[in-house]
Each structure stands twice: as structure tokens, then as C-alpha cells.
């Protein structure tokens, strides 16, 4: 092309005309939708109940649509396909975040998730799928900033077809990120697209090194599934589980921008309802708490006598003194447990067994002196308030965190552990749990620092072993009153409300697990309970695993999948890091694990990472200067990662800045920043769970600049 710039400008102008039409149409549709909503409200004036229900359904649908149209669609249109002519089908399609049609019902924009958009992601020069030219259109707000073309089928190109720029993918990768992960709908690569659009049933296992787009693909897959079968996924729900709250906050903004907001996002410390924690145990304690051996420990705990329970029952019946001592009570407890009913539902069996034991004693004592009636005995004893009080104290309703707190008592834990845990493990785990205190309510968590992330999976296991607390009896209907729906709002309530999910909801239609390599076996059991009827998307990188026994975790994962068919995908290109940054990370992990397969970073920046070794006394100053340099060098966010035991000190060294996040090594998982400052890498490797692998994760968080500051002059070694 004689004048490339002029061609590009002409193509940009042509796309701008289309984009203008799209936004004009969007305005019309928005107004029409708002009008329909007003009509919906007008329906209510008809006054009968059916009209109200219809009104609510209509208003609900319309407000959803309006919300979709109102969302700030930065770059609503991002692609275009020029296709080989086929019958009278359109030869040009524009691809975007939302599907829109013009007044004649011709497509103005095709939703990226629709089948017709598939070729945008999958076509290659060797398999063009009818695509002659694929164009990526980059918009800033409603303005077309530039276009980038791939000519996939030169033989089919009409004369004069312009081809602008090259490497749309690399161009998009080089741009800076904000605090929120960029969504990548415009540049999803073929290997990623296959995973995004894989069939919904069974399980997709997606692996790949750092920055290969696993999280992005998982989120796009959730958006794709919701689009493909909205009814199923909206009613069942999609659960996305990730590592830490800071990571979940980071991605929770992405789904709405993909056009979806009906997904439940939970960090691992939040999977159990009413619980939210980010506290971590030391690696040694987390390893014990996460292992399947804890199942046995918890089963024994649930069967044990609760702390403070009475060890003797004594009552007088018809002049007979009846006594059950600790040994007899233990026998009664075992008999009540033999049915296998969860503890909180088994109190009636405990009552029955107590009465039976007392009855046997009464019969023996009475001998032949006088006759006793079994039924009367049971009624009379069972009605006594002292008996009620005893049962309530001896077989109390138990809450998961209450039973967990028993493990803070070392002698108890030793009994439960038997041979399952070593004495050292017992000591470690007991020391990590605040000992029992009397809870005020059923779901009170123990005092002290509160539960850790690993405790949440244990509490979930206990929740199942204990069963739900018995329901309070329903109030008797009032004979003199009928329930009256008086206000208008009350009458329309049933139509408006989407039913609340119960706290033990486990019928998600799809479960996505991110950073799956870090789930402990007990965490797999917790997540598995919520996906019994679900399709699964599991993404992770075995090389980033901090879990000491990967085989046990894989077995637990397979159990969670319950024999579902799995499809595996592997991503091999690192889109996040420049080749220079990734080379340093690769060097560190290769030294520890020479055989690990690593992805390829394709983007070169000519800015190698800066590595400073300084005396301990100079560490604060050097960190301050390095941070200031990073903030000046990149437009977006900077992550500072330091060993956990240094975090408080580092916080004191650095000025507060809203562009800066300070985090420990494990919290860095899944995060992404324009610039990253790593403090004391050697200490991170020596102290964090996962060692070299965790340091590898930390060193792969930056898109543009990486600075490493430490006191070991030999780091990173040869």
C-alpha cells in the first residue's frame, strides 16, 4: 500500500460510521425498552392479580434488558468478519459484546457468544472457516481508535480489500491494565476459544502456565454458558470459586462487563454461608487441616461427649432411684449414634435410648415387688423438666464452628486423632485453634482471631456430619384470624421475589474453580458438595501449586467430579509478562524444578527486570525509591509483594497510594499489575508454602515492569 496511514484512516472512518449507527440504534432501543417498562407499570391499573403477576414479569424482563443496554459498553463493537459470499447471507458481520438488530431486523452487531461469531475466534489461515479478513476494532468509548486486520484467505479477497496493521493480539496485549482485569473478548485466541465454547456438560480441565489466560477463559466461559442456556444457568446459578477475597474483588468487575451479573463469586474462605475469612494457617498446619485424614478426626469429634455435658443422670421414679453413670451414658450415646442419623437430628433417638436404659434399670429394681407400665413410664419420665434439661445439656444442638473449637483442646484432639495424626501434628493443629468458648448463637464463630481459610472446609464437613439444626415448631394457625394480604406490595410480592437460596444450596448448574492447583482435598470436598448436579470448569497450573500432596488433591478432585467425562485443554502462550520478565521467573523455577513445562512469553519490551541487592539497613530506602520509579514508569497499578512476616514493616516504609496494593506471596496468586515490586525474594522462597513455585507466581504478576529488592547478593543465583 502506497500510503498505509491514509488507508488505515479511511478504514477507521468507515468503521466509525458503523459504530455511530450502532450507538444511535442503542439509544432508540433503550428508549423503547423504557417505554415498555412504563407500559408494564400501567398494566397494574387493570387491578386483578393475574395482571399484577404479568406486570411484574414484564417489568423484571425489561429492567434486565435496560440494564444490559445501559451498561457502559466501552468498545461495544470490537470485531468484523468479511466472509466468502454464500447464498444471500451477509458477507460482513460486526462482532460485539451484545447483539443488536436494525429496524429491518438485520444484524448490526452479533453477540460474541453467538454461534455466528465463532469464526472470529477460531478461523486461521489454514482453516479460514469462510473468513476472508478478520478485523479487530479498538474503540475508546464510542470512538474508533484503530483497526488491525488478519487476512486469512488471500485467494478469496476481492480487489482493493484493505488490510491494516498486523498482530492485533500483540497490540492488545501491550496495553496497560487497570485495577480490573481486561476482558479479552476481542482477542481470544483459538486455543482459548475451544475451551470457552466446550460443551457445558462434564468437566473442562484447563491448564497452562502463568499469564496464559486461564482466569480470563474461565470467566468468558461462564459468560458464554449463561448466554447459551440462560434459563438453566440463571435458575441453577453459576458458582465461581477462587483463591482470596482480593482476587475475587479483582475479577468480580469483569463478569458484568462481559454482559453477565448472575454469578456467585466466592473466595475459598467464603464458600460456607455466613463465613468470611482471609486468615491463613502456617503451611505445616494448613497441610494437616487440608488432608483427608481430618475426616476421621472430625467424625470422632462429632461422636464425642460435648465439653461441659453432665456425666450422670439421676432421677427418682415411683420411689426408685435410677442412675446412669458415665459408662452407662456412653453406651446410650453409642446406641443413639448407631442409626447413622446426623447429630442434630438424632436427639429424639438419644431421648428414646435414655428412657430405655432407665426403664431397664427400673424394671430390675422393682423386681417382683410391683408392676410398672412401660408406656406410662416413658410418658412420665419424658415429660419431666429435669429430664428435658438433662437431654438439652447432654445432647445439645451443635454448630460447626463450635465443634471445630473442641480441636483447640489438645487432649481432646489427641483422642480424636488416634493414629491418624502424629503427636507433632496434634500439637500444631490444637495450637492453631482457639479453644472452646460458649457461643451465644448457633452460628457464632469462636472468639480469638476467628477461623482460617482451611478451617472453613473443616466446618463445612462438620456441617454435613452434624446436619441442620431441628426446625422450630410451626406456630399453630390462629383460629380467629386469616392471613390477609393487605397492601399492594404484599400482594405482588410472590411474583417479584426470586426465591432465596437456602444456606446449604448445592444445586448449582455450573461450578468454576480457579487456581485449582491450590485446593486441598478437604476444600475439594467442600466445593464438590455444591456441584453435585453441575457441569464444571476447572482451571489451574500444577507448577504454581503450593499443596504438598498433589496426588491426594487430584484424587479428591476426581471424587468431586463423580465420574463425569472430562475434556482437557492446555494453554501455552503467556500473554501477561514480557519475555524479559518471564525469563527471570523461569530461571527461578527451573533451578528448583528443571522439568516443569513452561509457557512461552511472546511480547518483547527491551526493559529487563531490575534486581537490587542491598544491605539490610538500606532496604526501606531502596524499596521506597523503587516504588516511586515504578509509579512513574507505568500508568496503572503497582503490586508490592513481601514475605508475610515482613508485611507490616514494609507497610511502614512505603507511602500510601491508591494505585498500590501490598500483599503476601499467596495473596498474589491470580493477580496482575502493570508494575510489581518484590521484596526479599529469597525469604519468600524459604518461608512461603510452595517455596520456589510460589516465588515463581510472584515474579509473574507484572505486565510491564518488575523490580526485585533483597539482601542476598547471590540471588537469583546461576
Ligand X SMILES: Nc1ncnc2c1ncn2[C@@H]1O[C@H](COP(=O)(O)OP(=O)(O)OP(=O)(O)O)[C@@H](O)[C@H]1O
Residues that bind ligand X (CB under 6 A): 169, 172-173, 177, 181-182, 184, 187-189, 192, 208, 210-216, 541, 575-576, 670, 672, 700
* Residue 129 backbone phi and psi in degrees, to 5: 50, 35
Task: Pick the closer one to ligand X by CB: 128 or 243.
Answer: 243
CB-CB contact of 524 with 490 (8 Å): no
Q: How far is the CB of 425 from ligand X (least distance, A)?
A: 31
CB-CB contact of 228 with 201 (8 Å): no
187 assigned binding-site residue: no
CB atoms < 10 A from the CB of 32, how many?
13
243 assigned binding-site residue: no
CB-CB contact of 566 with 202 (8 Å): yes
What is the distance between the alpha carbons of residues 516 and 189, in angstroms, rounded to a whole number?
22
213 assigned binding-site residue: yes
Task: Pick the closer one to ligand X by CB: 148 or 711.
Answer: 148
Q: How far is the CB of 177 from ligand X (least distance, A)?
A: 6
Which segments of 488-606 does DSSP mark as H helices, in order? Answer: 488-496, 521-529, 550-561, 579-592
Q: How far is the CB of 517 from ligand X (least distance, A)?
A: 9
Helix axis angle for 385-394 and 374-383, nearest 10°, is: 70
Task: Pick the closer one to ligand X by CB: 40 or 245.
Answer: 245
639 assigned binding-site residue: no
Taking alpha carbons only, the member of 471, 428, 453, 651 closest to residue 547 is 453
Grid cell 507484572 — which residue?
Answer: 702
Q: How far is the CB of 190 from ligand X (least distance, A)?
A: 9
- Cis amide linkage into residue 716, ω under 30° from 0: yes
Task: Pick the closer one to ligand X by CB: 214 or 266.
Answer: 214
Cα–Cα distance list, 599 to 195, 379, 516, 545, 575 (Å): 17, 73, 18, 16, 10
Largest CA distance in the chain: 120
710 assigned binding-site residue: no
Task: Pick the closer one to ligand X by CB: 118 or 467.
Answer: 118
State which H helix or E strand residue 571 sits in.
strand 566-571
215 assigned binding-site residue: yes
47 assigned binding-site residue: no
Task: Pick the closer one to ligand X by CB: 82 or 672.
Answer: 672
Grid cell 469429634 — which residue?
Answer: 301
CB-CB contact of 212 with 508 (8 Å): no
* Residue 2 backbone phi and psi in degrees, to 5: -60, -45
Task: Pick the closer one to ligand X by CB: 37 or 545.
Answer: 545
Residue nearest to ligand X (CB): 213
Q: How far is the CB of 66 from ligand X (least distance, A)?
A: 29
Task: Pick the closer one to ligand X by CB: 390 or 575.
Answer: 575
Angle, CA 447 vertex, CA 300 and CA 309 arms, to 5°? 45
214 assigned binding-site residue: yes
CB atoms < 10 A from the CB of 112, how many?
28
Give the annotated binding-site residues for ATP.
208-215
Give the annotated binding-site residues.
208-215
Amino acid at each position: 500500500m502506497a500510503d498505509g496511514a491514509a488507508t488505515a484512516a479511511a478504514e477507521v472512518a468507515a468503521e466509525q460510521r458503523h459504530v455511530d449507527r450502532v450507538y444511535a440504534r442503542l439509544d432508540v432501543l433503550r428508549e423503547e425498552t423504557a417505554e415498555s417498562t412504563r407500559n408494564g407499570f400501567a398494566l397494574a391499573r387493570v387491578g386483578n392479580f393475574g395482571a399484577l403477576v404479568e406486570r411484574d414479569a414484564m417489568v423484571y424482563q425489561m429492567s434486565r434488558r435496560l440494564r444490559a443496554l445501559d451498561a457502559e459498553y466501552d468498545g461495544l463493537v470490537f470485531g468484523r468478519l468479511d466472509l466468502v459470499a454464500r447464498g444471500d447471507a451477509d458477507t460482513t458481520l460486526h462482532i460485539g459484546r451484545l447483539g443488536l438488530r436494525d429496524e429491518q431486523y438485520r444484524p448490526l452487531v452479533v453477540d460474541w457468544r453467538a454461534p455466528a461469531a465463532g469464526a472470529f475466534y477460531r478461523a486461521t489461515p489454514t482453516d479460514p472457516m469462510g473468513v476472508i479478513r478478520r478485523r479487530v476494532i479498538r474503540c475508546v468509548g464510542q470512538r474508533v481508535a484503530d483497526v488491525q486486520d488478519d487476512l486469512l484467505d488471500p485467494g478469496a479477497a476481492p480487489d482493493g480489500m484493505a488490510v491494516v496493521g498486523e498482530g492485533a493480539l500483540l497490540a492488545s496485549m501491550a496495553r496497560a491494565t487497570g485495577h480490573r482485569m481486561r476482558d479479552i473478548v476481542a482477542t481470544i485466541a483459538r486455543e482459548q476459544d475451544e475451551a470457552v465454547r466446550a460443551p457445558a456438560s462434564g468437566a473442562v480441565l484447563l491448564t497452562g502456565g502463568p499469564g496464559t489466560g486461564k482466569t480470563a477463559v474461565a470467566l468468558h466461559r461462564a459468560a458464554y454458558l449463561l448466554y447459551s442456556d440462560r434459563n438453566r444457568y440463571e435458575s441453577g446459578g453459576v458458582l465461581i470459586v477462587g483463591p482470596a477475597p482480593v482476587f475475587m474483588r479483582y475479577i468480580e468487575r469483569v463478569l458484568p462487563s462481559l454482559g453477565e451479573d448472575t454469578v456467585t463469586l466466592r473466595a475459598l474462605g467464603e464458600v460456607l454461608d455466613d463465613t468470611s475469612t482471609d486468615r491463613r494457617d502456617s503451611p505445616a498446619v494448613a497441610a494437616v487441616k487440608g488432608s483427608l485424614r481430618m475426616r476421621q478426626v472430625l467424625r470422632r469429634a462429632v461422636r464425642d461427649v460435648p465439653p461441659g455435658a453432665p456425666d450422670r443422670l439421676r432421677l427418682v421414679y415411683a420411689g426408685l432411684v435410677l442412675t446412669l453413670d458415665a459408662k452407662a451414658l456412653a453406651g446410650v450415646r453409642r446406641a443413639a449414634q448407631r442409626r447413622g442419623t446426623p447429630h442434630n437430628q438424632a436427639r429424639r433417638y438419644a431421648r428414646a435410648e435414655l428412657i430405655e436404659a432407665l426403664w431397664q434399670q427400673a424394671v430390675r429394681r422393682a423386681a417382683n415387688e410391683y408392676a410398672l407400665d412401660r408406656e406410662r413410664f416413658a410418658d412420665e419420665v419424658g415429660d419431666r423438666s429435669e429430664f428435658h434439661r438433662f437431654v438439652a445439656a447432654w445432647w445439645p444442638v451443635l454448630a460447626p464452628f463450635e465443634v471445630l473449637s473442641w480441636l483447640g483442646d489438645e487432649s481432646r484432639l489427641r483422642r480424636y486423632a488416634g493414629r491418624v495424626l502424629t503427636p507433632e501434628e496434634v500439637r500444631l493443629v490444637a495450637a492453631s485453634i482457639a479453644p472452646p468458648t460458649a457461643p451465644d448463637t448457633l452460628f457464632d464463630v469462636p472468639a480469638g482471631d476467628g477461623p482460617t481459610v482451611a478451617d472453613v472446609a473443616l466446618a463445612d464437613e462438620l456441617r454435613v456430619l452434624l446436619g441442620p439444626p431441628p426446625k422450630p415448631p410451626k406456630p399453630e394457625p390462629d383460629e380467629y384470624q386469616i392471613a390477609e394480604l393487605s397492601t399492594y406490595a404484599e400482594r405482588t410480592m410472590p411474583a417479584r421475589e426470586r426465591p432465596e437460596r437456602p444456606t446449604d444450596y448445592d444445586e448449582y448448574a455450573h461450578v468454576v474453580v480457579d487456581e485449582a492447583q491450590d485446593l486441598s482435598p478437604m476444600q475439594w470436598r467442600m466445593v464438590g458438595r455444591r456441584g453435585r448436579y453441575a457441569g464444571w470448569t476447572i482451571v489451574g497450573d500444577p507448577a504454581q501449586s503450593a499443596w504438598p500432596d498433589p496426588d491426594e488433591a487430584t484424587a479428591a478432585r476426581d471424587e468431586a467430579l463423580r465420574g463425569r467425562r472430562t475434556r482437557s485443554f492446555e494453554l501455552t502462550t503467556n500473554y501477561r509478562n514480557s519475555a524479559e520478565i518471564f525469563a527471570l521467573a523461569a530461571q527461578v523455577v527451573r533451578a528448583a524444578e528443571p522439568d516443569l513445562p513452561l509457557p512461552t512469553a511472546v511480547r518483547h519490551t527491551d526493559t529487563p527486570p531490575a534486581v537490587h541487592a542491598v544491605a539490610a539497613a538500606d532496604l526501606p530506602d531502596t524499596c521506597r525509591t523503587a516504588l516511586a520509579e515504578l509509579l512513574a514508569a507505568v500508568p496503572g497499578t503497582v503490586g508490592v509483594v513481601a514475605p508475610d512476616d515482613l508485611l507490616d514493616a514494609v507497610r511502614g516504609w512505603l507511602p500510601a497510594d491508591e494505585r498500590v496494593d501490598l500483599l503476601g506471596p499467596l495473596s498474589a496468586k491470580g493477580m496482575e499489575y502493570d508494575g510489581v515490586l518484590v521484596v526479599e525474594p529469597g525469604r519468600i522462597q524459604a518461608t512461603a508454602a510452595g517455596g520456589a513455585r510460589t516465588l515463581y507466581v510472584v515474579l509473574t504478576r507484572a505486565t510491564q515492569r518488575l523490580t526485585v529488592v533483597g539482601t542476598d547478593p547471590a540471588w537469583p543465583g546461576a
